[in-house]
Structure 1
């Protein structure tokens, strides 16, 4: 996909070349209690195993939805890929409607985990899981490989092709009934790197009914944007939150420097300053390989192969994406985005009063309403 990212990519690739090492992550355990869950996981032919109900105490959802956690078996490649486990929560307001409700598969970006969509601060405003489940959607909110409660393989193995293939397997677990019941209508919502993964997945596997992405696109390369990204990260091993994790010895795992996450927001007045405390507490890692892989995707037109409708969103004041003017209504980076998709499938939305992390700015309510309205217009409605 197709962003002209070079300086950050070079920076992080340099980090990879300077160091080497690896390890595995211990398995955490606990979660949101679920009464009267109406089905149990089962083995489905062709899938890499049975999703296992788990309980990760620190992962209780802030959404107030009814959620059940699973460890999903996946492989990292279609032929001979390594086995891995992805942690995720399936959430709904009404378990009796599971299978009837459309499912939104939520794909977080770099330096966040699933918490981005299940935000603990002022959840009536910022918690996307709460908003969507209350409007009749089921959501699968998960940690990508290398993040949160999921397995942490060698960071060098985590490309966007691998990420897209693992998301494809999650979608197939849902569609084919691995959780005990098939889910026929599935939409992805990807944020930043997660949006890129949603695009690669849809273009490669053609198994979603629609996709929404925010904070990602083509033709990334404004000098201010490059400088901002190049100066925001350092090795996860040096950060107190991650320094004791065995996988942090792998130098390809990076995180954001303390006090730098304001770059994910717009100017003062477009976000609540209290968010920054939660940003630091709930931040996660990003791998140098994923950041470098943006370069590999930046000169392709893979999005031309997407055959599902797409809602493409940037926050008005996305400092990462619209670095020429710092305003995505006027920035040249956004002008030609529609040309990278098949005719009739692309919808552009600029979220007012928002930065890069669209769901966490003051424009989040308008964005969430736009998602629901856009899906409804394409025949995908919540069921209550």
Structure 2
């Protein structure tokens, strides 16, 4: 199996104190390139995974499983998108060499399972009230158990890295702290200090019932919301770090979110449950995230990786070996900003170090 050969990464143990964390996190980790001159391509398959919700409702999760055709890591990365997104967030259909996290992970030798949360994409649509962050976490847990048993795509994966974005990070926190069935956690676009004023502003001025949107019509009940046309740029992006064509593609592909799921995820993101995560954690945040890094009352200090580490470290146990990386200039959707490659390199190098193949 492919492993990192970065000398600096092998020798450094990255302790919890801020001084050690700062040396690691003020800039992206050294990227561990695969041994091959050209990364092995991945074979991708659409899969449908049967699951049940809290109320024993049957459902299915649609996902795309991508496995590098050559030697690859033993850990699979399971990707959970945020509110009003489905799996396209991680495998963006515009300039994928620049904006596809899936492609970057596969090229680094990591298999990926890119999920549509229940209620979004091609997964089962359920009444909005039954979709909560806890219910979605239980669904992800079932998917992980099937991955480990070889029940998804016919290959059993011995290690799992759970990667979330925004609301998906809230679901990731619930799953990892409740079921303890993953080997590493990556949280993106989410901290414990949500900007109350800016989040409230976004919900009141940029969102409305999905039933009112021309894209969705009456296919969703009133408990589902989406973004008002033309509002994604101001909420999810930093204009100076964004290709306008990305925003246009994002607008065309937008999805929905259940109000109950979103409310539960916000409560999770601001609570202490992350103390229950007992595996290595990497937290990645855009330096200009409107929903977290500004505001009049409470907000995250995204001025540097060290500053955010100091603010977040008390919410995690020593077992999490917390590392923090702030992507300078990036908005909330840091995976879709011009400099997204920097944070993806950081994630892959962190995974090489903290979720090794052996």
1:342-353 equivalent positions in 2, closer than 5 A: 342-343=317-318, 345-353=321-329
Q: Tell me the secondary structure at the aligned position of residue 244 of structure 2.
A: coil
What's 2:348 paired with? 372
1:1-384 equivalent positions in 2, closer than 5 A: 65-77=42-54, 81-94=56-69, 101-179=74-152, 180-243=154-217, 245=219, 248=220, 250-294=221-265, 296-297=267-268, 300-324=271-295, 328-329=302-303, 335-343=310-318, 345-380=321-356
Q: What do residues 102-160 of structure 1 show as CA deviations (whole Å, max 9, x unaligned)?
A: 20000000101000001011110101111111111100001000000000111001111
How far apart in 1 are the matches of 2:114 and 2:269?
27
Q: Tell me the secondary structure at the aligned position of residue 314 of structure 1.
A: strand
Q: Tell me the secondary structure at the aligned position of residue 351 of structure 2.
A: helix
How far apart in 2 are the matches of 1:303 and 1:184?
23
- The alpha carbon displacement at 1:337 in A equals 1.1
- The alpha carbon displacement at 1:238 in A equals 1.1
Q: Return 5+ residue gaps in structure 1 as ranges.
A: 1-63
- The alpha carbon displacement at 1:301 in A equals 1.3
- The alpha carbon displacement at 1:256 in A equals 0.3
Greater percentage in helix = 2
How far apart in 2 are the matches of 1:183 and 1:351?
30
Distance change (3 Å), C-alpha of 1:372 and 1:102:
same
State which drifts further: 361-370 or 265-274.
265-274
Q: What is the total number of aligned residue pairs between the two structures?
A: 312
Q: Tell me the secondary structure at the aligned position of residue 257 of structure 2.
A: strand
How far apart in 2 are the matches of 1:326 and 1:346?
16
State which drifts further: 152-161 or 64-73.
64-73
- The alpha carbon displacement at 1:297 in A equals 3.2
- Asked if 2 retains the 8 angstrom alpha-carbon contact of 1:266 and 1:353, the reply is no
Runs of 4+ residues deviating >4 angstroms: 330-335
- The alpha carbon displacement at 1:65 in A equals 3.7
Instruction: Give the TM-score normalised by structure 1.
Output: 0.76
How far apart in 1 are the matches of 2:275 and 2:136?
19
- Asked if 2 retains the 8 angstrom alpha-carbon contact of 1:318 and 1:327, the reply is no
- Asked if 1 retains the 8 angstrom alpha-carbon contact of 2:193 and 2:292, the reply is no
Distance change (3 Å), C-alpha of 1:118 and 1:257:
same
Q: Tell me the secondary structure at the aligned position of residue 188 of structure 1.
A: strand
- Asked if 1 retains the 8 angstrom alpha-carbon contact of 2:194 and 2:300, the reply is no
What's 1:48 paired with? none
Q: Tell me the secondary structure at the aligned position of residue 321 of structure 1.
A: coil
Q: What do residues 193-220 of structure 1 show as CA deviations (whole Å, max 9, x unaligned)?
A: 0011111100000011101010112132
- Asked if 2 retains the 8 angstrom alpha-carbon contact of 1:109 and 1:192, the reply is yes
State which drifts further: 338-347 or 150-159.
338-347
- The alpha carbon displacement at 1:181 in A equals 2.8
Q: Tell me the secondary structure at the aligned position of residue 261 of structure 2.
A: helix
Q: What do residues 5-35 of structure 1 show as CA deviations (whole Å, max 9, x unaligned)?
A: xxxxxxxxxxxxxxxxxxxxxxxxxxxxxxx
- Asked if 1 retains the 8 angstrom alpha-carbon contact of 2:191 and 2:270, the reply is no
Q: Tell me the secondary structure at the aligned position of residue 240 of structure 2.
A: coil
State which drifts further: 371-380 or 254-263.
371-380
- The alpha carbon displacement at 1:314 in A equals 0.8
Q: What do residues 165-200 of structure 1 show as CA deviations (whole Å, max 9, x unaligned)?
A: 000011001111213331001101100000111111
